[in-house]
Amino acid sequence: MTTPRDNLIGKRIAVLDKGWIELQDVMGDDLAIVNAARTSFLGESKGDERDKKLLFYLLQHRHTTPFEMVEFKFRCRGPLVTFWQWVRHRTWNMNAQSGRYTAFEENDFYIPAVWRLQSSDNKQASEGELSGPEAEALTAKLLAHYEQSFALYQQALDAGVARELARMFLPGFAVYYTWVVKVDAHNLMHFLRLRMAPDAQYEIRVYAQAIYEHFFKPALPWTAAAFERFIMPELGPIKQ
């Protein structure tokens, strides 16, 4: 029997200019969370209304262990600037593409749609956008930089240099990588709370938003509703 969760497996969402995120597997649902909580006193489902009420109670009062009974597995493609923020969440299990084993492709670099300006009062944030001829010139220079970098990378490979050294020519934070990650629902909500926040960097915020809207909410509608009631208000208005 096909369930709504089954229809999510294999679904891929485009992110940024060349990136994507794909749900490879999901274990458990809202009822799995409720049943895990009731295991403490050997209980079981008591109908949708009472089950949902219990789930809301759990999240409101931060009884988070039952949420660890649900797991998501994703395959992602994004620039290294995204991956290096993602990998800081050490509760995720992950494995990433290696430039030692696989050669990079031409044009496998992130091109920002806009040039954000540095925030005047937050050292790690942006505020506003650069526009007009100056922004267009920067994009042209970035493209030229990518083209030259890849040409040098290819020259090194053609000369027989090992891939692990030839990649030194590539623009580090812009090159696209593919990685596989797995996380439980509790730690995924922690990730979403931080990475969907208004001050999160755009290049990871769009991945967090894609996960939430296209995978988390459809797979765990009760949990998502509780998350929106008890956790989301802490984030403030979410940037699009």
The structure tokens listed for 159 are 């000369």
Question: For the chain, what is the mean pLDDT?
Answer: 90
Residue ranges per domain, the chain?
Answer: 6-97+175-234, 115-169
pLDDT at 5 over 80: no
pLDDT tens digits, one per residue of 164-175? 999 999 998 899
What is the average pLDDT across 22-34? Answer: 95
Higher-pLDDT residue of 71 and 40 is 71
- The angle subtended at Cα 176 by Cα 136 and Cα 100, nearest 5°, is 135
> What predicted TM-score, i.e. pTM, was given to this entire model?
0.91
pLDDT tens digits, one per residue of 32-68? 999 999 885 545 677 889 999 999 999 999 999 999 9
Distance, CA of 9 to CA of 148 (rounded, Å): 39
6-97+175-234 maps to which CATH number? Answer: 3.30.1360.170
Give me the active site residues, please.
195
Distance, CA of 22 to CA of 50 (rounded, Å): 33
